[in-house]
Amino acid sequence: MNGLMTGQARSARRLLAFSAAALAVLDLLVKFVVLQALGHGSHGSALDFGLLNVRVAYNTGVSFGLGASLPPWTVAAATAVLVVVLAVFLFRSAPQRTAPSRAGAALLLGGALGNLVDRLDGAGVVDYLHTGWFPTFNLADVFVVAGAGLLILGSVTGPAKKGT
């Protein structure tokens, strides 16, 4: 039985790693396509879809531009530390999580990784989804918010899985 639990734990962690990596790659791919289509400048072209527009902007800070006045390496280093701490927590707890919580963990970690990798060039995170009434954001941000919501939902709606 202990071997089965260990195998289940390993499987849960592998699925989390694969899912988070795939979501990060998807985010980076979408950013690449947007940059190729619209250019790298924030004054470039835009695609107008009414309530939601696609236009390129760079966020050198974190959420809502916080920390934008700090040197890029400081923001990248702090973000990297937070992502590592988050990853360790999510990987250790993955086997005990409910299915919605596991999906949330993958979304949260995938979004965080996508934005971290994007930040490493020093130019800031590429944001491209613009509403006019909310700060410009990207797919990784959607993943982070949806992931946090699913983690909370999974934590309050069902018992944790048994085993490690």
Residues with active-site annotation: 127, 141
Q: Which residue's entry shows tokens 């409910």?
A: 98
How far is C-alpha 138 from the chain's CA centre? 9
- Rounded distance, CA 55 to CA 164, Å? 45
Alpha-helix runs per DSSP H in the chain = 2-38, 72-93, 99-119, 139-157
User: Which DSSP state fits 51?
Assistant: S
Q: Which residue's entry shows tokens 């790659």?
A: 25
